[in-house]
Chain A
Amino acid sequence: MSTVTADDTARLNATYGEVLDVHRRQFLWPVGLLVLVLAYLTYACFAFDIPELIAKSRLDRGVLLGLDSVAYKVHVEKNLRRDLFEVAVEGERTATYDEAALPDWVTVTGPSGNDGRVDIDMGDGYRFVIEGKSLTMTGPGLERPFTVTAGGKTLTWEGDTPSWIDLNPKKVEARPTLLKRVQVTTGRILVFRYFWGWEDFWFDFRSPLHGKSLGQVWSLAWSDDRLDPSMSNAALIVSEFWGNEGWQHGDVFKALLETVIMAFLGTVVAAFVGLPLAFLAAANFNPDPATRFVIRRFFDFVRGVDMLIWSLIFIRAFGLGPLTGVLAIALTDTGTLGKLFSEAIENIDNKQVEGMQSTGASAMTRYRFGVIPQILPVFISQSLYYLESNTRSATVIGALGAGGIGLKLVETLRTGKDWENTLYIITLTLIVVIAMDVTSGWLRRKLTGAGRD
């Protein structure tokens, strides 16, 4: 292969100057565009005050949130002021372990939890001991045991202090690993041990079925010894699961159903109201330009005002709930679908209608056999597309107040405590959205002919 010399370049320029110029100009405009975009992004960076945002962001909150959504913690608490000892899941009063049935990694020796000695096996070789008002930690990274005592007005400590122990006269915090945490203040000693998974997902802590394995539950369902005399075991299992207080499976399912109803009914109403209006907006079916103009502007108006604003107006009138969402979706999409349908109607092949007319068919028959078969594929595929996208929209307008899964999600986010519930709801929402996507794609292929997606 030979390289291009300066002579060659000059010759090429002389012969094909115009072509090369075009090439160079085509090379320039992307560069110019890139510079423009970068300049805009720089402006935006300052307009949105990115440096301050980075300074203020709380990435530790993100880690905590991530951990909390896939793990749960068990609190071992010794309250020195109220002279109280308890072990509870997530520190909740409703999920407190009985003193006689503590988890096997907590051992109490002596009179009772309060006066006795509490041995906590934190896993990975870490052992914590609470004795009286002091806590002693031993484990990897601690050459001499670290002891903190909560007597008097301030805390006192001795022993090794690695970097993961945060010392303060009022509060000592230690986090040897992500899954183990200790907090000692003058009033209480609090040990957290994290476990992976979602706690009490199937049954409540207080439920008679709590802690039973799948096999045990299965055999209980078929056993004749009733746990609750008033109902059969199978009914009890279902109602305990459905009424789980922490996870609210029943409520979440109802909210999901509301969202799906909103999307389904909204789209159906929009499609069936939009279709006749689309005929009135199509130039080849409605010769009157005045009504055509009015209907087309109506489509533009309801589309332009936006689903968000309609839902706010409807919430005022009809209150919170799925009906409000249905009406907001229906009104907005009457505009969108009506416009799409009227375009499809204007693009039909007129020969079929003329053929029908030549046989003396009535107007209704002409529409039924001449027009409908031509616009049916567009009608079905567009309606299904919008059904799918409305499932997402229904989540959003639900969060603004129309109800359904969106509102449930916002509620769990507001409390900012039960992140595992948030993750649960997000997962369910995604499953529903993806299921709608797959179903509507499948229906579209079935109803409008294979291959044309």
Chain B
Amino acid sequence: MAMTTVDQLLDHASALERRRRLYTALGVAIFAFLVVMGFIAAEDMNSGGFVQGLDKFFDYPRNIVVETADAGTGWFERLWTYLPALIETINMAAVATIFGTVFAVFLSFASTRGLQVWPPIIPIARRAMDISRAFPELIVALFLIFVLGSSPVPAIIAVAFHTAGALGKLFSEVNENIDRGPLEGMTAAGASWSRRMRWAVLPQVLPNYTSYMLLRFEINIRASAILGFVGAGGIGTELRKAISWANGADIAALFVLLFLTIMVIDQFSGHLRRRLVGGMFAGAR
């Protein structure tokens, strides 16, 4: 057997250390190369350059502010006129969230191993969630607008479709982390599957479900607003009109409405989520 001295060990350790450093350096170099190449390619493909654009960057916001100031007090009336469009967008998001959540609950129960469902359905439900999550809302919406005509409904279906997959995955993660005690107790007592789910699982997962649903509602408001741009109605359609007519005061009014809505819902749902996950259902766990 070869003698292992401290020197040899040290040599070995420093060789390993050198190799590790080499790999790190290589990784960083490749990463930096990708970033630089990406920027060069992006700058190349862009119709306007970065440096020239920098001067113009504040022109557009400035125009909007100037035109808003010109509009004077009449500007506040615009806020009022656009309120129905905003309500439509919020309704779109709400309906889509409701339907998406319902489907997500079914999908998540069907895709969780621990919940004593019929096993062959698990991979099917998982793949279904993967696919609906991967579809950008825009693609589904554009397709449905072609079939159903310009209206909020295609956007609702599109957003609900995506929501089902996105929430389904989060929900199934919640399902996997439940305390199995109550479930085993109910099984031992001979409860039916639906009762086991209702009394042993739902009380544990509901606070987290609600919290995720509220978070998704926020995201869906943005998504619904964006889909308005492609003809789904609501505040997005108004915004596109205002932008194509370059009407600064209207654009400002719509931006403010959208920003305020998102902020209010952010605050409200944040508050509600803290309460839900914090204490209200604490006894159930």
Question: What is the interface of chain A, defined by CB distance below 8 A to chain B?
Answer: 37, 40-41, 44, 47-50, 53, 56-59, 61-62, 65, 257-258, 261-262, 264-265, 268, 300, 304-306, 308-309, 312-314, 316-324, 326, 392, 395-396, 399-400, 403, 406, 409-410, 413, 416, 422, 426, 429-430, 433-434, 437
Q: Which 7 residue pairs of A and B lie closest in terms of their CB atoms, listed nearest first?
A: A319-B48, A321-B46, A319-B47, A318-B53, A323-B46, A62-B147, A316-B60
How distant is the Cα of A257 from the Cα of B34 in the complex, in angstroms? 13
Tell me if B50 is interfacial: C-beta within 8 Å of chain A. yes
Q: How far is the CB of B242 from chain A (nearest CB, A)?
A: 11
Partner pick for A48 among B60, B91, B130, CB 8 A cutoff: B91
Binds A, one of B36-44, B66-74, B111-119, B271-279: B36-44
Tell me if B123 is interfacial: C-beta within 8 Å of chain A. no
How distant is the Cα of A322 from the Cα of B263 in the complex, in angstroms? 29
Partner pick for A37 among B41, B49, B98, CB 8 A cutoff: B98
Interface centre among A59, A314, A392 (most CB of B within 10 A): A392
Residues from chain A with Cβ under 8 Å of B225 in the complex: 306, 308
How distant is the Cα of A316 from the Cα of B98 in the complex, in angstroms? 36
Partner pick for B146 among A257, A262, A320, A416, CB 8 A cutoff: A416
A59 contacts B147, C-beta separation under 8 Å = yes
How distant is the Cα of A322 from the Cα of B262 in the complex, in angstroms? 27
Tell me if B57 is interfacial: C-beta within 8 Å of chain A. yes
B130 contacts A319, C-beta separation under 8 Å = no
How distant is the Cα of A307 from the Cα of B259 in the complex, in angstroms? 12
Q: Closest residue to A436 on the B side, CB-wise?
A: B134
B222 contacts A261, C-beta separation under 8 Å = no
Residues from chain A with Cβ under 8 Å of B151 in the complex: 48-49, 53
B38 contacts A261, C-beta separation under 8 Å = yes
- 5 extra interface residue pairs, beta carbon distance < 8 Å, beyond A47-B88, A396-B136: A41-B98, A48-B92, A306-B225, A306-B259, A318-B50
How distant is the Cα of A434 from the Cα of B135 in the complex, in angstroms? 9
Tell me if B268 is interfacial: C-beta within 8 Å of chain A. no
Binds A, one of B3-11, B12-20, B137-145, B180-188: B137-145
How distant is the Cα of A56 from the Cα of B154 in the complex, in angstroms? 13
* Interface of chain B: mostly helix, strand, loop or mixed: helix
Residues from chain B with Cβ under 8 Å of A392 in the complex: 134, 136
**A–B Cβ pairs within 8 angstroms, 13 of them:** A44-B94, A48-B91, A48-B156, A49-B151, A61-B146, A258-B42, A316-B59, A318-B48, A321-B47, A323-B42, A323-B46, A326-B42, A409-B142
Count of A-B contacts judged by CB separation below 8 Å: 154
B35 contacts A268, C-beta separation under 8 Å = yes
Partner pick for A265 among B39, B49, B57, B139, CB 8 A cutoff: B39
B61 contacts A313, C-beta separation under 8 Å = yes
Interface centre among A40, A44, A59, A264 (most CB of B within 10 A): A44
A399 contacts B53, C-beta separation under 8 Å = no
How distant is the Cα of A396 from the Cα of B230 in the complex, in angstroms? 10
How distant is the Cα of A57 from the Cα of B147 in the complex, in angstroms? 6
Known contacts being A41-B98, A400-B226, is A426 close to B139, with CB within 8 Å? Answer: yes
* Interface of chain A: mostly helix, strand, loop or mixed: helix
Residues from chain B with Cβ under 8 Å of A59 in the complex: 147
A304 contacts B259, C-beta separation under 8 Å = yes
Q: Closest residue to B133 on the A side, CB-wise?
A: A437
B48 contacts A65, C-beta separation under 8 Å = no
Residues from chain B with Cβ under 8 Å of A49 in the complex: 151
B57 contacts A312, C-beta separation under 8 Å = no
Interface centre among A309, A410, A429, A437 (most CB of B within 10 A): A309
A304 contacts B262, C-beta separation under 8 Å = yes
Residues from chain A with Cβ under 8 Å of B130 in the complex: 434, 437
How distant is the Cα of A269 from the Cα of B43 in the complex, in angstroms? 15
Partner pick for A319 among B38, B41, B53, B143, CB 8 A cutoff: B53
Q: Closest residue to B261 on the A side, CB-wise?
A: A304
Instruction: Scan B148-162; emit 1 where CB is below 8 A from any A CB, else 0.
Output: 110111001000000
What is the total number of residues of chain B having a CB less than 8 Å from a CB of chain A? Answer: 56
Q: How far is the CB of A121 from chain B (nearest CB, A)?
A: 33
Residues from chain A with Cβ under 8 Å of B222 in the complex: 306, 308
How distant is the Cα of A47 from the Cα of B94 in the complex, in angstroms? 13
Q: Closest residue to A59 on the B side, CB-wise?
A: B147
B88 contacts A317, C-beta separation under 8 Å = no
Q: Closest residue to A430 on the B side, CB-wise?
A: B134
Residues from chain A with Cβ under 8 Å of B153 in the complex: 48, 50, 53
A395 contacts B136, C-beta separation under 8 Å = yes
Tell me if B105 is interfacial: C-beta within 8 Å of chain A. no
B57 contacts A317, C-beta separation under 8 Å = yes
Residues from chain A with Cβ under 8 Å of B46 in the complex: 318-324
How distant is the Cα of A47 from the Cα of B85 in the complex, in angstroms? 12
B34 contacts A264, C-beta separation under 8 Å = yes
How distant is the Cα of A253 from the Cα of B266 in the complex, in angstroms? 38
Tell me if B258 is interfacial: C-beta within 8 Å of chain A. yes
B259 contacts A317, C-beta separation under 8 Å = no
Q: Closest residue to A423 on the B side, CB-wise?
A: B143
Q: How far is the CB of B258 from chain A (nearest CB, A)?
A: 7
B50 contacts A58, C-beta separation under 8 Å = no
A265 contacts B148, C-beta separation under 8 Å = no
Q: Closest residue to B52 on the A side, CB-wise?
A: A318
Residues from chain B with Cβ under 8 Å of A65 in the complex: 143, 146-147
Q: How far is the CB of B188 from chain A (nearest CB, A)?
A: 16
Known contacts being A44-B91, A324-B46, is A261 close to B98, with CB within 8 Å? Answer: no
Q: Closest residue to A313 on the B side, CB-wise?
A: B60
A317 contacts B42, C-beta separation under 8 Å = no
Tell me if B189 is interfacial: C-beta within 8 Å of chain A. no
A305 contacts B147, C-beta separation under 8 Å = no
How distant is the Cα of A40 from the Cα of B136 in the complex, in angstroms? 27
A47 contacts B91, C-beta separation under 8 Å = yes
Q: How far is the CB of A214 from chain B (nearest CB, A)?
A: 30
How distant is the Cα of A37 from the Cα of B48 in the complex, in angstroms? 49
Partner pick for A306 among B35, B50, B230, B258, CB 8 A cutoff: B258
Residues from chain B with Cβ under 8 Å of A48 in the complex: 91-92, 95, 151-153, 156
Residues from chain B with Cβ under 8 Å of A258 in the complex: 42, 45
Residues from chain A with Cβ under 8 Å of B147 in the complex: 57-59, 61-62, 65
B91 contacts A262, C-beta separation under 8 Å = no
B226 contacts A396, C-beta separation under 8 Å = yes
Residues from chain B with Cβ under 8 Å of A53 in the complex: 148-149, 151, 153
